[in-house]
Amino acid sequence: MSDVYIIGAGIHPFGRTPARSGLQQGVFAVRQALAAAGLAWRDVQFAYGGSDAAGKADTMVSELGLTGLQFINVANGCATGGSAMFGAYSTIKSGEFDLGIAVGFDKHPRGAFDPKPAEWGLPEWYGETGLMLTTQFFAMKIQRYMAMHGISTGTLARVAEKAFANGVLTDHAWRREAVDAETILNAAMVSDPLTKFMFCSPAEGAVALIFASEARARALGLPAVKLRAAAVRSRPPGSFEVFSPALDPERGPSPTVIASRAAYAMAGVGPEDIDVAQLQDTESGAEVMHMAENGFCADGDQEAWIAEGRTRIDGRLPVNTDGGCIACGEPIGASGLRQVYENYRQLTGQAGARQVPGDPRLGYSHVYGAPGVSAVAIVERV
Amino acid sequence: MPDLPPPIDDRLLTIDPAGQPHLLAVREAETGRIVFPAPAEIDPDRHVPMTLPREGRLWSWTVQRFRPKSPPYAGAEAFQPYAVGYVALADSIIVEARLTGAALDGYAIDMPMRLVAEPFAMADGGQRTTFAFAPIEEAAR
């Protein structure tokens, strides 16, 4: 079994690119990653790729070259990118191949997602009467959390303010203008307590990561990070998930909690060892709750953490250094890989204006989505 | 009691002669777990039909401030924001529902709530009855 390294990364800027399809953005990201690593498409032995709504990843070979490589499409909803990465991780670790890529891309229409009840195994009345909205779920999860653990709306606003501030510094971000906490708080309410500036939007973008075995990484001598853990977990009993007409009275942990524990165990590190974290921030309350679900603080401590700026780029644990989903938008298939891309840039000292000071060693990434799936990865500077 | 429009789904709720709605659920025979909404096909060997308790406490809430996309939303074009919440029913199950009977900012976690029939105007001009929960003081008036 080999250790697994990420030796290159490419990204197509997130946001809106009317002139390019999602697939073309994926090809762009692959080419950028290969160029930065000085590699050619024919060097790639295998690929895992996918999108949620923008087509079949393996058709990229038409543009990239018909090398006959093993190309596996991944369709795992919000965990598509995380699953592609897990595939690459396992493939290198097993020794089957020593160099390959994971690529994720997407292109969603504007506005909230519009799900169909039947596709989720739900009766039509649930959608007809206006209960089937992801925004309601996020609002009700943070509403209860705020009441139970003393989190203020000011904290929600400061999390979004930080996201936009980091987006200003990030080439690949969509929202690149600062928005102050006051404006965020007073903006139009979408679903109480969340205003429009606290939510991310569906968007477009693509990310490609190049994976290699330890021997191959050493031979190539490229800037690299070691993938210490990659875990994907589905929901346990009692977790609170989107599109739930009812919940069991006995509440349980979230898929994030179990994915996080699994990743820490694989890596042999704990939350106190992490130097930079990218956490799912579908809305600013999600970032707050995910700080605790991933073990970085106790429930309720976020109020002090945010007030003291501990999650800013110059703080003790910088969170969502590229502005996260709030500033980058959420192309589902690419979003989880963007987090790992960002950690790769940070740990290899290539993050430019948003570089976390002090040579960060361990980077943590966490993606979460419907219907209750989380993927966590931990990478280490080498 | 005036006649209520027909239920939006006959498998969702029934309305008794006094005009009170009852939510239809099943209890899994093997585990005792309550399932709502009831499955489309009830298997008499596995499911015991039941109606849910009609009172509970507000578990969480929010307000739907914009008109949801159609489909799946089937409400009238003219949109009024509405409150939505989860209500914990007497330790048996926590049910998601529209909320009514208070101002949009008049809800608070742990409020006592009661099931009420809620008229629902469809975009196609039809009228249906769905369910909602209202604060008990308000609903009792």
pLDDT at residue A113 tops 80: no
Express each pLDDT in A179-220 by its tens digit: 999 999 999 999 999 999 999 999 999 999 999 999 999 999
CB-CB under 8 Å, A141 with B66: no
| B60: in domain | yes
Residues of A near B (Cβ–Cβ under 8 Å) read 111-112, 114-117, 123-133, 136, 139-141, 143-144, 147, 188-193, 244-249
Question: How many CB atoms within 10 Å of residue B54?
Answer: 17
Query: Nearest CB to B73: which of A127, A192, A244?
Result: A127
Distance CA A70, CA B14 (A): 56
Query: Nearest CB to B84: which of A136, A188, A247?
Result: A136
User: What integer best gives the mean pLDDT of chain B?
Assistant: 93
* Beta strands B127-135 and B93-99, pairing class: parallel
Interface probe with A: pick from B60, B86, B89, most Cβ of A within 10 Å: B60
Distance CA B112, CA B93 (A): 15
Average pLDDT of A309-317?
98
Position A77 confidence tier, pLDDT thresholds 50, 70, 90:
confident
B53 contacts on A by Cβ (under 8 Å): none
Express each pLDDT in A131-158 by its tens digit: 999 999 999 999 999 999 999 999 999 9
Handedness of CA B56, B57, B59, B61 (dihedral sign): positive
A147/chain B closest Cα distance in angstroms: 8
* Beta strands A225-234 and A4-15, pairing class: antiparallel
Distance CA B45, CA A15 (A): 52
Average pLDDT of A214-228?
97
Q: Which of A152, A103, A169, A205 is nearest to A313 (CA)?
A: A169
Interface probe with B: pick from A120, A125, A133, A134, most Cβ of B within 10 Å: A125
A146/chain B closest Cα distance in angstroms: 10
| B32: in domain | yes
Chain B, 19-58: which have a CB under 8 Å from a chain A CB? 33-37, 40
Query: Nearest CB to B65: which of A126, A140, A190?
Result: A190
Position A115 confidence tier, pLDDT thresholds 50, 70, 90:
confident
A133 contacts on B by Cβ (under 8 Å): 64, 68
Which domain, by its residues, includes B103? 13-140
pLDDT at residue A257 tops 70: yes
Domain boundaries, chain A: 4-110+200-381
Distance CA A182, CA A158 (A): 9
**pLDDT in the model for residue B140:** 52
Supply the DSSP symbol for B10. Answer: T
CB-CB under 8 Å, A131 with B72: no
User: What integer best gives the mean pLDDT of chain A?
Assistant: 96
* A12: β partners: A206
B137/chain A closest Cα distance in angstroms: 22
| B94: in domain | yes
* Beta strands B93-99 and A246-247, pairing class: antiparallel
Q: Look at A71-80, A92-101, B50-59 and tell me which has the smallest mean pLDDT.
A: A71-80
Task: Please state which CATH number belongs to domain A4-110+200-381.
Answer: 3.40.47.10
Measured CA angle at A198 (ends A192, A199), to 5 deg:
90
Express each pLDDT in A4-44 by its tens digit: 999 999 999 999 999 999 999 999 999 999 999 999 999 99
| B118: in domain | yes
Q: Look at A63-67, B1-5, B42-46 and tell me which has the smallest mean pLDDT.
A: B1-5
Structure tokens at A180: 């102050």
Handedness of CA A364, A367, A368, A373 (dihedral sign): negative
CB-CB under 8 Å, B72 with A124: yes
| B1: in domain | no
CB-CB under 8 Å, B71 with A127: yes
Handedness of CA B34, B39, B45, B49 (dihedral sign): positive
CA-atom Rg of chain B in angstroms: 16
Distance CA A319, CA A363 (A): 10
CB-CB under 8 Å, A247 with B94: yes
Distance CA A278, CA A283 (A): 14
CB-CB under 8 Å, A116 with B40: no
pLDDT at residue A264 tops 60: yes
Interface probe with A: pick from B31, B96, B98, B100, most Cβ of A within 10 Å: B96
Q: Number of folded domains in chain B?
A: 1
CB-CB under 8 Å, A144 with B109: yes
- Whole-number percent of chain A with pLDDT over 70: 99
Question: How many CB atoms within 10 Å of residue B63?
Answer: 20
Half-sphere exposure of A160 (CA within 13 A, CB side): 27
Please report the ipTM that was assigned to this predicted complex. 0.95
| B8: in domain | no
Interface size between A and B, measured as CB pairs under 8 A: 117
Q: At what angle do helices A80-94 and A332-347 cross, to 10 degrees?
A: 60
From the number of C-beta atoms within 10 Å of its C-beta (0-12, 13-18, 19+), residue A21 rates as middle
Supply the DSSP symbol for A232. Answer: E
Position A1 confidence tier, pLDDT thresholds 50, 70, 90:
confident
Structure tokens at B19: 């005009």
Distance CA A58, CA A67 (A): 12
Query: Is B4 an 8 Å CB contact of chain A?
Result: no
Query: Nearest CB to A191: which of B64, B74, B88?
Result: B64
pLDDT at residue B100 tops 90: yes
Interface probe with A: pick from B9, B24, B84, most Cβ of A within 10 Å: B84
* Beta strands B112-121 and B55-64, pairing class: antiparallel
| B23: in domain | yes
Amino acid at A209: L
Structure tokens at B76: 């009238």
CB-CB under 8 Å, B63 with A128: no
Interface probe with A: pick from B26, B65, B77, B89, most Cβ of A within 10 Å: B65
A112/chain B closest Cα distance in angstroms: 8
CB-CB under 8 Å, B86 with A249: no
Q: At what angle do helices A284-293 and A153-168 cross, to 10 degrees?
A: 100
Strands (E), chain A: 4-15, 46-50, 70-73, 99-107, 189-191, 194-195, 204-213, 225-234, 246-247, 276-279, 362-369, 373-381
pLDDT at residue B141 tops 60: no
A68/chain B closest Cα distance in angstroms: 42
**pLDDT in the model for residue B2:** 61
pLDDT at residue B139 tops 50: no
